[in-house]
Amino acid sequence: MSLTATNLPPMTVNLEVAEGVGTIRLDRPPMNALDIATQDRLRELAQEATDRDDVRAVVLYGGEKVFAAGADIKEMQVMDHVAMVKRSRALQEAFTAVARIPKPVVAAITGYALGGGCELALCADYRIAADNAKLGQPEILLGLIPGAGGTQRLSRLVGPSRAKDLIFTGRMVKADEALTLGLVDRVVPAAEVYEQAHAWAARLAQGPAVALRAAKEAVDQGLEADIDTGLAIERTWFAALFATEDRERGMRSFVEEGPGKAKFA
């Protein structure tokens, strides 16, 4: 039997684009559990957001009530060692695809962002959390460790000792503590999370796309290297930008109109 519009399985993640901002929206109620289908869909949409010229910045969003409460434990419970050896690479690749979107990415965090949900938020460049948000890496409570990048991205973001505290204990942190730890960058009323995240993305969507990509890749790749290699990455990108139309436009506007007046989009 062929699938039709009425019997197609519902998409657990969707990409909506408006005014240069692509919203990658998790839609697997009630808790946006990140099952295999959702992971694979995330990877597909991260690639689509990367490829589409009309997407200049991205918002990761789980809806008004919850960002993502982690993996689908029932699905994982039946997997043995061999099955997870096969699956774990695809799991990490899905999240890495989000982290490597070469455009500004902001996570709009409402409610729970636990386990894989927290790891997904870590893939963003900037995190805006609701004042009722709760974040954590509770995998240790299942006899596991984070498997979608948490041990690596969390330690790079908040430092190894703070990351180990969260990972060793599996405890949840409220939004105010997450802000103190550096796990999120801004805390706002729950009703304003998506609006403020979209505004952050929309402002950057008007910026010089190639320079923003260069800045993101220079920072991210530099963090994985020694200082001399990082400086070489920066130097290469810095010189390359002198071949772009945006650089010409930005400098011309600065000379003729003063700083901050250039139009790029």
CA distance 215 to 104: 10
Question: What is the per-residue DSSP string for 88-149?
Answer: HHHHHHHHHHHHT-SS-EEEEE-SEEETHHHHHHHTSSEEEEETT-EEE-GGGGGT----SS
What sign does the dihedral 119-120-123-128 (CA atoms) show? negative
Catalytic residue among 93, 119, 217, 256: 119
- The bridge status of strand 112-114 relative to strand 105-109 is unpaired
DSSP, collapsed to helix, strand or coil, labels residue 208 as coil
**CA–CA gap between residue 156 and residue 180 (Å, rounded):** 16
> Is position 119 annotated as part of the catalytic site?
yes
Which of 10, 115, 101, 105 lies closest to 66 in space, CA to CA? Answer: 115
What CA–CA distance (Å, rounded) separates 106 from 100?
Answer: 13
Q: Which of 139, 177, 195, 257 is catalytic?
A: 139
Distances (CA, A) of 187 to 65, 191, 204: 16, 11, 20
**CA separation, residue 138 to residues 167, 194, 203 (Å):** 7, 25, 35
Catalytic residues: 119, 139
